[in-house]
Amino acid sequence: MDSEDQPEELVYKGIAASPGVAQGKVYLFLLRELDIPDTEIRPGDMEAEIERFEETLLQTRQEVSKLQNEVAQRLGPGEAQVFDAHLLVLEDRALIEETIRETRESGRNITFCFNRVAQRYIDAFAQMDDEYLRERANDIRDVSRRLLHNLIGDHYYGISQVTGGRVIVARDVSPSDTANIEKGKVLAFVTDAGSKTSHAVIMARSIQVPAVVGMRNCTRMLRNGDNVLVDGYEGLVIVNPTSRTLFRYGKVQEEKRSLEQKMLAQIDRRTKTRDGVRIDLMANIEGPGEIDRLERFGAEGVGLFRTEYLFLNAAEFPSEDEQYEAYRKVAETIAPAPVTVRTLDLGGDKFPSSAFRVETEANPFLGLRAIRFCLEDVALFKTQLRAILRASVHGNVKMMYPMISGVGELDRANGILKEAMGELDADGIPYDRSIRVGAMIEIPSAALTADILAKKCDFFSIGSNDLIQYLLAIDRVNERIAHLYEPTHPAVLRMIHTVVDAAHRQNIKVALCGEIAGDPVLVPLFVGIGIDELSIAVTGLPAIKYIVRNTEHREMVKLTSELLAMEDPREIFAGAEDFYKRHIAHLIA
Ligand code: PEP
Ligand code: MG
């Protein structure tokens, strides 16, 4: 029984974004304003104050170097370069001398004076015409904050430095935040903003950290140190869970574990429906760090390698050689299984570190994103294409372009690819001459001209995360309209159907690589529509394999023709759910 003085259990609902259950203490990740002390320093104490400053600079430099080494070891040297700029600020004698002079002249404490001097630098850089120099203001701001924390004697924390296993509660997290965390240090994420298809959430799923997002005001409702249980299956955050609740969740986790065992027992079998129709079941990955898990979870290859993650935390563009190494590593390790490398999809909600010149846009998802960005910066694009081509001799490499809106972009991208091939030929560098090149179909204009594109592509991959956002005009990261993001909207189903038809008429295959491809309730509908390949987060593979292997293809086709005739998204979802209950639920109960 719960004791009388047990604090009241409170249950908050958000969006179930990354499955799993975690329990622990809240770490409120807010960039709060620092309390800068303003005191007078007696002349006799001045030298000690300045010495304290020099010592703190040294301590902060050591901290940054340590962090840089850790990141370099975990994610590679490219990702760690961002800290070079921070170290340069900490070694900048002009800034240091100006702080010391101001302290001596004003007789105020060093923390106060450093804050003032740093602020002047930040303002000066922020007003520069040159975008690159303007971005330096961010480096000074970041590292000054760390130094100020040390001067005040207050610890500085970034998400990547949270230790001891905490539930991170934040307004939002960025893809680079999630890309940086180590498993075990963060138990779960709970955020005010975000939706199921925001990239930070996709990343949380791939590193198996439960997440509940779109809570709107969790940063006000929850406090540091609160004991919470996060249910990433149902999207619940339970504050002060009672022993009864914990017992119930203990049982849920036990059941999930035994179910997982049952599914894992089938992972090395091929993915065929019960009546023998083959489906390729592939994994979505964000970097070479994930390849160790592919076999364990039964991936038959990589259907989507989101290469932009190599760029997110890097201070400079990864060089051709660095990229080549990353692509080669994946291709070589999983060969002869295929890897589909997607060319850079920066923009939208994925922005690189401040070292890149990326202009702020009012509508980044409609802006200079993905292939548009690459076609503007041909040198950058060609570097990536050369790296992919060079890696293609080490395995079974395919490549595809994101955000193709029509045949013009496809032609231009292929033109640059041809140039890259010509350069490699001239240099005598080998590559796979028959590399298969596909387009992502994630913009309605591409879907509606799929018959034209199919003539020039070796395959399609439907990016439903974006296709749904652009088709239904629903910002994929806006929690306020997340309930309107409806994969079972008849427009979505018709569009996918159109793409599959156009591709099959041209004898090319179609993959589905958005988040819905890993939804157990919707998978039968997409297999029934004719999708040839499903590409999903690694951890979702065993369940989807189990479902496909234990369901009849002809039943799925029948389901699809029934659902395609319906008008209401909720009715269609209910039809899919009913099928799931009749044909699948008992298999995984
Ligand atoms: C998609 O849009 O569905 C997709 C797979 O790509 P991303 O989520 O990286 O935009
Ligand atoms: Mg996309």
Nearest CA residue ID for atom 4, ligand 1:
463
Band (pLDDT 50/70/90 cuts) for residue 27 is confident
Band (pLDDT 50/70/90 cuts) for residue 1 is very low
Distance 442 CA to ligand 2 centre (A): 6
Distance 540 CA to ligand 1 centre (A): 16
Residue 544: phi, psi to the nearest 5?
A: -70, -40
Closest ligand to 465 CA?
A: 1
Tell me if residue 187 falls in helix, strand or coil. strand
Task: Please name the residues in contact with 298: beta carbons below 8 A apart, sequence gap of 6 or more.
Answer: 264, 266, 267, 268, 281, 541, 542, 545
Mutate which of 351, 466, 485, 499 to test ligand 1's pocket (most atoms within 8 Å of Cβ)? Answer: 466
Tell me how far apart the alpha carbons of residues 382 and 412 are, in angstroms, rounded to a whole number.
Answer: 12
Residues 466-503 have pLDDT tens digits of: 999 999 999 998 888 988 999 999 999 999 999 999 99
**Closest atom of ligand 1 to CA, residue 463:** 3
Q: Give the position of tokens 């231009």.
A: 412
The DSSP output letter for 582 is I
Mutate which of 443, 465, 474 to test ligand 1's pocket (most atoms within 8 Å of Cβ)? Answer: 465
Which residue type occupies 53? F
Residue 93: phi, psi to the nearest 5?
A: -65, -30
**Closest atom of ligand 1 to CA, residue 197:** 8
Mutate which of 198, 206, 310, 345 to test ligand 1's pocket (most atoms within 8 Å of Cβ)? Answer: 345
pLDDT at 351: 79
Closest ligand to 346 CA?
A: 1
Using alpha carbons only, how large is the chain's radius of gyration in Å?
26
Distance 463 CA to ligand 2 centre (A): 5
**Closest atom of ligand 1 to CA, residue 513:** 5
By annotation, the residues acting in catalysis are 199, 513
Answer whether 175's CB lies under 8 Å from 350's CB.
Answer: yes
Tell me how far apart the alpha carbons of residues 503 and 505 are, in angstroms, rounded to a whole number.
Answer: 5
Answer whether 204's CB lies under 8 Å from 16's CB.
Answer: no
Three-point CA angle 126, 310, 461, nearest 5°: 115
Band (pLDDT 50/70/90 cuts) for residue 76 is low
Distance 496 CA to ligand 1 centre (A): 15
Q: How far is CA 475 from CA 58, 213, 363, 483, 485, in A?
A: 45, 15, 10, 11, 9
N- to C-terminal Cα separation, the chain: 29
Q: Which CATH class name applies to 262-457+512-587?
A: alpha beta
Average pLDDT, the chain: 89
The residue length of the chain stands at 589
Ligand 1 pocket residues where CB is under 6 Å: 304, 306, 345, 442, 463-466, 513-514
**Closest atom of ligand 1 to CA, residue 462:** 3
Mean pLDDT of 5-16: 90
Band (pLDDT 50/70/90 cuts) for residue 144 is confident
pLDDT at 468: 97
- Other C-beta atoms closer than 10 Å to the C-beta of 268 total 9
Would you state the torsion angle of the CA atoms of residues 184, 190, 196, 199, taken in this order, to the nearest 10 degrees? -60
Closest ligand to 198 CA?
A: 1
CATH 1.10.274.10 fits 43-152, yes or no: yes
**Closest atom of ligand 1 to CA, residue 402:** 6
| CATH entry, 3-32+158-241, from 3.50.30.10, 3.30.1180.20, 3.40.50.360, 3.40.50.450 | 3.50.30.10
Reference 109, options 35, 34, 45; nearest CA is 45
* Tokens describing residue 552: 């009849």
Reference 402, options 422, 387, 386, 381; nearest CA is 381
Distance 463 CA to ligand 1 centre (A): 5
Domain borders along the chain are 3-32+158-241, 43-152, 262-457+512-587
The more confident residue out of 428 and 266 is 428
For 248-278, the DSSP string reads HHHHHHHHHHHHHHHHHTTTTS--B-TT--B
State the pTM of this model. 0.74
In 125-256 the beta strands, taken as DSSP E runs, fall at: 166-170, 186-191, 211-213, 227-231, 236-239
Nearest CA residue ID for atom 9, ligand 1:
306
